[in-house]
Amino acid sequence: MARRCEICGKGTVSGQIVPRKGKPKKQGGVGQHIGVTKKREFRPNLVTIKTLIDGTPKTIKICTRCLRSGKIQKVV
């Protein structure tokens, strides 16, 4: 099963780590220098919960934002 929210479809997004050296000009320095960028992954905060879908209990992966906003109710 993929790392994807089954309600909103939020998944992993690729990005970069950008190291910066030096003091910014705004703070009285000579400016920042950007080093070598490295790839990284931003992963969604997923939780596995049991919920009722069409009257039957199912276990689904859902992001915490959808859970907090009340799109799905947990079954205890």
Average pLDDT for runs of 10 along the chain of length 76? 90 96 94 95 96 93 95 88
Query: According to the model, what pLDDT value does residue 1 have?
Result: 57
Which strand (E) or helix (H) includes residue 56?
Answer: strand 56-63
Domain assignment present for residue 3? The answer is no
Domain count, the chain: 1
Q: Is residue 32 part of a domain?
A: yes
Range of the domain at 23: 13-69
Is 22 within a domain?
Answer: yes
Q: Is residue 63 part of a domain?
A: yes
Q: Is 43 a member of any domain? A: yes
Residue 54 amino acid letter: D
